[in-house]
Amino acid sequence: MSKTIIGDALPNIPWKARPEGCTDVVWRDPENPIIGRFPFPAANSVFNSAVVPFKDGFAGVFRVDLKTRKQELHVGFSKDGINWDISEKRIEFIKTKDEIDDFSVGYDPRVTKIGDRYYVAWCNMFAVGSNTCTIGLAYTDDFENFYQLENCFLPYNRNGTMFPEKINGNFAMLSRPFNDSEPGCIFYSESPDLNFWGNHRHVMSPSTYWDWLKIGAGPTPIKTTEGWLLFYHGVQKTCSDACYSFGAVILDLEKPWIVKHHCEPYLIAPTELYEQVGDVSMVCFPCATLQDAETGRISIYYGAADTVVAMAYTQVDELIKYIKDNDMIK
């Protein structure tokens, strides 16, 4: 029995065994996509979304693009993690300070449980500027009322992902500040109070062939005996397009800005039609995992082609072995 994952058992984790003949360390759900593109009539697509265990089932915050192509966040609930009931109404955040800008457009949420509270981080568009965004942050205790905090950083930033516990006494977040004319790197930041942030550290830059354009942290890091297991997406620019795949690294438990192991090959790249064709072609973009500390099973939710939600599965010990066998760090 694996005890590599440091955390709770999750006996009801959605799960499919590795298909026969498959030798990959991470494998897809054969019934992908698990959530189709039209969750309700006004919606154009649902993808890049985050789920957590909640009560006797699961809750989630979903990126829904409307048929206006406006990007919103919607709540959803599920008994089994596969079949989801997604609200037709977007989340209306309750501001914790007057000076916080009203939510306008937001996308690519991550949800992290710290203590008994759920934190949602997302890419938050400013009212000023046409493409000015940074990391928005809110919390909820019940997935009904969401309380919006100050933005974590100055623009321009995307892909904010919180750690599930305090590091060195502070809240901690990975994010990907960006400048369209530079490769995008992952940084680490800390906050004593979720209002002021600092102790910024560079974590990793694009470093291999499938991720050379930019990278971004994916789901909440998973605490293991080997370090923080982080899935991240990487973008390769081809003769024709950008291609979003995802891979994994293991970060130091106490100084999570130090990469201990870095898996050279990707884990999942767009090779299935629902990943290759859609509103944005060639995208596999993970935003959440579920994991069962008892069995070491990990279920990965990822957006496919910016259109639908798909799932993949792995087992933590096999995965960590694979990462070490293919380690870029000597």
Which residue, 94 or 273, has its beta carbon nearer to its own copies?
273
Residues 279 and 269: beta-carbon distance below 8 Å = no
- In the chain, what is the straight-line distance between the N-terminal and C-terminal CA atoms, in Å? 29
In the complex, least distance from residue 208 CB atom to its own copies, rounded to whole angstroms:
6
Which residue, 58 or 188, has its beta carbon nearer to its own copies?
188
In the complex, least distance from residue 238 CB atom to its own copies, rounded to whole angstroms:
5
In the complex, least distance from residue 12 CB atom to its own copies, rounded to whole angstroms:
32
Q: Which amino acid is at 56?
A: D
Which residue, 78 or 191, has its beta carbon nearer to its own copies?
191
Six-digit token pair at 150? 């100050």
Cα–Cα dist 286/231, whole Å: 8
In the complex, least distance from residue 216 CB atom to its own copies, rounded to whole angstroms:
12
In the complex, least distance from residue 245 CB atom to its own copies, rounded to whole angstroms:
8
Q: What is the 3-state secondary structure (H, E, C) of 8-42?
A: CCCCCCCCCCCCCCCCCCCEECCCCCCECCCCCCC
For residues 267-286, which are near its own copies according to CB under 8 A?
269, 271, 273, 276-283
CB atoms within 10 A of CB 97: 9
Task: Give phi and psi for 244, each to the nearest 5.
Answer: -100, 115
Which residue, 102 or 131, has its beta carbon nearer to its own copies?
131
C-alpha to C-alpha distances, 89 to 39, 51, 62, 63, 70, nearest whole angstrom: 12, 18, 11, 12, 13
Six-digit token pair at 326? 């293919």
For residues 115-134, which are near its own copies according to CB under 8 A?
126, 128-132, 134
In the complex, least distance from residue 144 CB atom to its own copies, rounded to whole angstroms:
27
Residues 161 and 218: beta-carbon distance below 8 Å = yes
Q: What string of DSSP letters covers 231-255?
A: EEEEEEE-SS-EEEEEEEEEE-SSS
Binding mask 204-243 for its own copies (x = CB under 8 A): -x--xxx-------------------------x-xxxxxx
Among 130, 112, 113, 129, residue whose Cα is nearest residue 121: 112
In the complex, least distance from residue 316 CB atom to its own copies, rounded to whole angstroms:
20
Position of tokens 């789920």? 51
In the complex, least distance from residue 205 CB atom to its own copies, rounded to whole angstroms:
6
Which residue, 5 or 123, has its beta carbon nearer to its own copies?
123
Q: Is 144 in the site for its own copies (CB under 8 A)?
A: no
- 3-state SS assignment for residue 324: helix
For residues 282-311, which are near its own copies according to CB under 8 A?
282-283, 306
For residues 66-105, which are near its own copies according to CB under 8 A?
66-71, 99
Task: Give phi and psi for 323, each to the nearest 5.
Answer: -60, -45
Which residue, 71 or 78, has its beta carbon nearer to its own copies?
71
Residues near its own copies (CB under 8 A), total: 77
Cα–Cα dist 277/307, whole Å: 9
For residues 248-267, which are near its own copies according to CB under 8 A?
264-266
For residues 18-77, which are near its own copies according to CB under 8 A?
23-24, 37, 41-42, 44, 66-71
Binding mask 170-209 for its own copies (x = CB under 8 A): -----x-xxxxxxx-x-x-xxxxx-xxxxxxxx--x--xx
Geometric angle at alpha carbon 152, from 148 and 158, rounded to 5°: 100
Cα–Cα dist 23/44, whole Å: 35
Which residue, 144 or 240, has its beta carbon nearer to its own copies?
240
